[in-house]
A and B are shown apart, each in its own frame.
Chain A
């Protein structure tokens, strides 16, 4: 009997901790942060505002508040919403360029401390407009912009090598590690018009305003330093071994053929040569011919190697203080006691066409 009473007491003491009914929650999907007169302007995008599926109108609502700190503003937002803000499904943080250049890590501090938030959300910098405007835009096919951005980052990561997603955990671990700096995803809004935050934006087949993923930005000491262009982004992805699929146009007989690289592995090796380090970058890749106007496979392979080398060289020539390529980290991992970081990069590329296609063989 004593045991049973003890068990019951155990239940009642901890009882219903963290209990929330679903219809008493406002699910926050993304937060935007802008700066205005030394104050933070914070917007919270809330997803579950409809009563049923067939309701017309926007699927999201955005509450905005000013505050001396971000948490201050979020607290004020709680007054506007009748329900408790719930950040368990928080998936995207949008910060304006201005703040990103000032300090990113200071802002992330709050999101790291909150236990409710998964540390897997994407950090994005919006380039040409205020962050709060971006999270109000109604998009298709994912009517919730946070989903839209999350899905398009996923797709572009798999299908192209044109961008890179910066999740909170990865961002912070790169920031804290010695010899490497994190990169950050950027978003661009095209042709922003006033009615972009109404469903009018999605009623036509040619929406006037749309969100587009852009090239990555590099950071130095937790601050945005500069943006890479498209070729440099591809080069960064090749060096950091993040290619799963990529299409490159390759010149052959004065015409262009397409090559789909579906396997690519990059290894970086550090060697010491007197008081200099040599970093060997070995790229092993193979691909298939997807669009061809040329029947000289050897020339194609040679030119593809050249293309890949061109991407890599472009990113190596970027002049920045940021250690976004992480070579210093490679040296540190192999020779932890040394303090001298003079290095030279050597690139070695291999490429093979694995499948030519029947059309070609008939020629």
Chain B
């Protein structure tokens, strides 16, 4: 193994030579990955003061908890890139961990807010994440299987489960699939889940940044997948009713939570159906509306140049653009943009006669209802179905609306999440003590 060749393309690789009693000791490390004070205090100081010049002395005398023998070049590179310091005497190599913590620490959960309940969330630090789960479930039944996936990136992926609760068949299957993954780079949890899930519009896995939610699901017999360098933990399988659950539910009065869940379910239906229902009623099935409302609607549509269907599509699109802009824009500009968008655009367009005021209300109701869910993927699912529903009822009225409702129901019923029915666990909708 020739260490000197490494230095060519890696300016941050440091090699320090110490000569003690004519024996050359090389200390090799990445400046960017290692804590230099650790190297000073626990490697250089003991070696120079105690004059350690053989591998066995170093192994015995250096105060380090994580030692690794290195037998080939592959090991050497892996250790170097993982933040280890390599000590080389003659042709013997040994490595010690001097990793520099490159993460943001444990911070508050930013995407999944709760009113009550703990505030901590997963970070990019793999060890911390494991610790956050371990400290909540202190039992030997909590098992952890670690894999190293990615031919080049060598990312650690670990599987959490409770030994007595988990479905062994599911575990074996996941185990099999992990062993067969052939990817070069694992960047985050998404690259793992793409190989596992069925990639339907409705997600069959949960992604969360809250350790309390992960432990709650582990206790219910599910499997959690942790990926190095990601703050999103995957939980499988996921069922339809999980769309209406929230971490917060566990910290509140269970009777009141049931009502909240019913409200969420109604919001889900409202978000998908409202625009298409309005289109179906006003352009095809006018006889179903009460007379006074019909007269009002027809007054408001006076002078609008587009057909209602196009009007609804344009408004939905505008809203989606606003929402996307709102999430991407830096926080400093953030709120003002959405206010400008909502107020000025909506008000002005209605006054200019481009769109009818009632259409703004309809789209707003549907969009606000979809924002009830903090899972962004679910919001996107709702958006897709909203547009499918719109097209169907724009062509065929109420008849089309009911066809599309049937399509949605059939889709949900026929979905599988890791060999479980997606509609499994319906009874979990009602919380009991």
Instruction: Give the distance in Å from the alpha carbon of A23 to the alpha carbon of B286 in the complex.
Output: 12
B291 and A22 contact, CB distance less than 8 A:
no
Instruction: Give the distance in Å from the alpha carbon of A221 to the alpha carbon of B415 in the complex.
Output: 63
Among A43-51, A94-102, A208-216, the stretch in contact with B: A43-51
Contact with A along B281-308 (1 / 0, CB 8 A): 0111011000110111111111110011
Known contacts A29-B291, A89-B287: does B396 contact A14 (CB below 8 Å)? yes
| Partner among B282, B292, B296, B395 whose Cβ is within 8 Å of the Cβ of A15 | B395
- Please name all residues of chain B whose beta carbon is closer than 8 Å to the beta carbon of A116 when the two chains form the complex: 287
B308 and A16 contact, CB distance less than 8 A:
no
Residue B397 at the A interface, CB < 8 A?
Answer: yes
Instruction: Give the distance in Å from the alpha carbon of A181 to the alpha carbon of B300 in the complex.
Output: 45
Residue A25 at the B interface, CB < 8 A?
Answer: yes
Distance in Å: Cβ of B420 to nearest Cβ of chain A: 27
Contact with A along B264-287 (1 / 0, CB 8 A): 000000000000000000111011
Instruction: Give the distance in Å from the alpha carbon of A47 to the alpha carbon of B298 in the complex.
Output: 10
| Partner among B286, B292, B304, B395 whose Cβ is within 8 Å of the Cβ of A25 | B286
B284 and A118 contact, CB distance less than 8 A:
no
A89 and B301 contact, CB distance less than 8 A:
no
B286 and A88 contact, CB distance less than 8 A:
yes
- Secondary structure at the A interface, as helix, strand, loop or mixed, is loop
A147 and B287 contact, CB distance less than 8 A:
no
- Please name all residues of chain B whose beta carbon is closer than 8 Å to the beta carbon of A19 when the two chains form the complex: 283-284, 397
Residue A149 at the B interface, CB < 8 A?
Answer: no
Instruction: Give the distance in Å from the alpha carbon of A118 to the alpha carbon of B282 in the complex.
Output: 17
Whose C-beta in chain B lies nearest to the C-beta of A23? B301
| Partner among A18, A29, A50 whose Cβ is within 8 Å of the Cβ of B397 | A18
A89 and B294 contact, CB distance less than 8 A:
yes
Residue A21 at the B interface, CB < 8 A?
Answer: yes
| Partner among A15, A16, A91 whose Cβ is within 8 Å of the Cβ of B291 | A91
Distance in Å: Cβ of B298 to nearest Cβ of chain A: 4
B396 and A11 contact, CB distance less than 8 A:
yes
A47 and B286 contact, CB distance less than 8 A:
no
Which parts of B286-340 form the interface with A (CB within 8 Å)? 286-287, 291-292, 294-304, 307-308
| Partner among A15, A51, A86, A91 whose Cβ is within 8 Å of the Cβ of B286 | A86
- Please name all residues of chain A whose beta carbon is closer than 8 Å to the beta carbon of B295 when the two chains form the complex: 27, 47-48
| Partner among A16, A18, A25 whose Cβ is within 8 Å of the Cβ of B298 | A25
Instruction: Give the distance in Å from the alpha carbon of A22 to the alpha carbon of B358 in the complex.
Output: 13
Residue A20 at the B interface, CB < 8 A?
Answer: yes
Instruction: Give the distance in Å from the alpha carbon of A18 to the alpha carbon of B296 in the complex.
Output: 21
B298 and A22 contact, CB distance less than 8 A:
yes
- Please name all residues of chain A whose beta carbon is closer than 8 Å to the beta carbon of B397 when the two chains form the complex: 18-19
B299 and A52 contact, CB distance less than 8 A:
yes
A22 and B395 contact, CB distance less than 8 A:
no
- Please name all residues of chain A whose beta carbon is closer than 8 Å to the beta carbon of B282 when the two chains form the complex: 22
Whose C-beta in chain B lies nearest to the C-beta of A118? B287
| Partner among B291, B299, B303 whose Cβ is within 8 Å of the Cβ of A89 | B291
Residue A53 at the B interface, CB < 8 A?
Answer: yes
Whose C-beta in chain A lies nearest to the C-beta of B306? A21
A16 and B299 contact, CB distance less than 8 A:
no
- Please name all residues of chain A whose beta carbon is closer than 8 Å to the beta carbon of B300 when the two chains form the complex: 52
A21 and B307 contact, CB distance less than 8 A:
yes
- Please name all residues of chain B whose beta carbon is closer than 8 Å to the beta carbon of A48 when the two chains form the complex: 294-295, 298-299
Contact with B along A282-311 (1 / 0, CB 8 A): 000000000000000000000000000000
Whose C-beta in chain A lies nearest to the C-beta of B301? A23
Known contacts A18-B284, A89-B291: does B302 contact A23 (CB below 8 Å)? yes
Instruction: Give the distance in Å from the alpha carbon of A50 to the alpha carbon of B298 in the complex.
Output: 9
Which parts of A229-258 form the interface with B (CB within 8 Å)? none
Distance in Å: Cβ of A141 to nearest Cβ of chain B: 12
Distance in Å: Cβ of A59 to nearest Cβ of chain B: 8
- Please name all residues of chain B whose beta carbon is closer than 8 Å to the beta carbon of A22 when the two chains form the complex: 282-283, 286, 294, 297-298, 301, 308
Instruction: Give the distance in Å from the alpha carbon of A48 to the alpha carbon of B292 in the complex.
Output: 10
- Please name all residues of chain A whose beta carbon is closer than 8 Å to the beta carbon of B287 when the two chains form the complex: 88-89, 116, 118
Whose C-beta in chain B lies nearest to the C-beta of A51? B302
- Please name all residues of chain B whose beta carbon is closer than 8 Å to the beta carbon of A88 when the two chains form the complex: 286-287
Instruction: Give the distance in Å from the alpha carbon of A21 to the alpha carbon of B286 in the complex.
Output: 10
- Please name all residues of chain B whose beta carbon is closer than 8 Å to the beta carbon of A17 when the two chains form the complex: 396
Whose C-beta in chain B lies nearest to the C-beta of A19? B283
B binding-site residues for A, Cβ under 8 Å: 282-284, 286-287, 291-292, 294-304, 307-308, 395-397
